[in-house]
Amino acid sequence: MNDPELWPFYEKAQEFGIVLDMHTGFCWVPPGKSKYCHPEQLDDVARDFPGLKINAFHMGYPYSDVLNMVALGHPNVYICMSLLVPWAITAPRKFARLLGEAMRFVGPDRITWGTDFAGYGVQVANAVKGLREFQIPEDMQLAYGYPPITEEDKAKMFGGNLGRLLGIDTTKRRIK
């Protein structure tokens, strides 16, 4: 993602106000190569294109700490929980660490969630339910300084932040 040959593409995307969803972290689908998805590469892109909005998918997992540091230094980088939300139910302490660290580094205003989860409807519904009911355990809040997740935080993560990023008013229903 930091190949200089992509600079003209990034330049145009920045010029037109296009938000880029970018896969970060490990690439588990052949023929993709993980070395091209490491979140450290976003540092080059975000630095050279500070007006380009980047939504970094999968929280950079398993390199989430690196993505958090990149996002800390670049307000145009958003951390997307896509694909990892089912862990709110299946691996809640692991998810609590990932989300707690993201909250600590960028706060609730630059964390998004999308439905790129390649599961069946019931799996997506359970992921939504899991996040709605999720809370960072109190012992982890005390031990690591993670903030509790408020209903306002969840509203931001569940669509408010992405809506703001895309210029969509999420307070209005589109379907009646």
- Residue-range domain boundaries for the chain: 4-166
pTM of the model: 0.92
Is residue 45 packed enough to be buried (19+ CB in 10 Å), middle (13-18) or exposed (0-12)?
A: buried
Burial 54-68 (b: 16+ CB within 10 A, else e): bbbbbbbbebbebbb
Q: What is the pLDDT of residue 176?
A: 62
Count Cβ atoms within 10 A of the Cβ of residue 126 and give its class: 0-12 exposed, 13-18 middle, 19 or more buried: middle
- The CATH number fitting domain 4-166, selected from 3.50.50.60, 3.20.20.140, 3.20.20.450, 3.40.50.2300: 3.20.20.140
Tell me the average pLDDT of the chain: 91
Burial of 77 (0-12, 13-18, 19+ CB in 10 A): buried
For the stretch 26-55, pLDDT in tens is: 988 778 899 999 999 999 999 999 999 999
Give the span between the Cα atoms of 14 and 125, in whole angstroms: 34
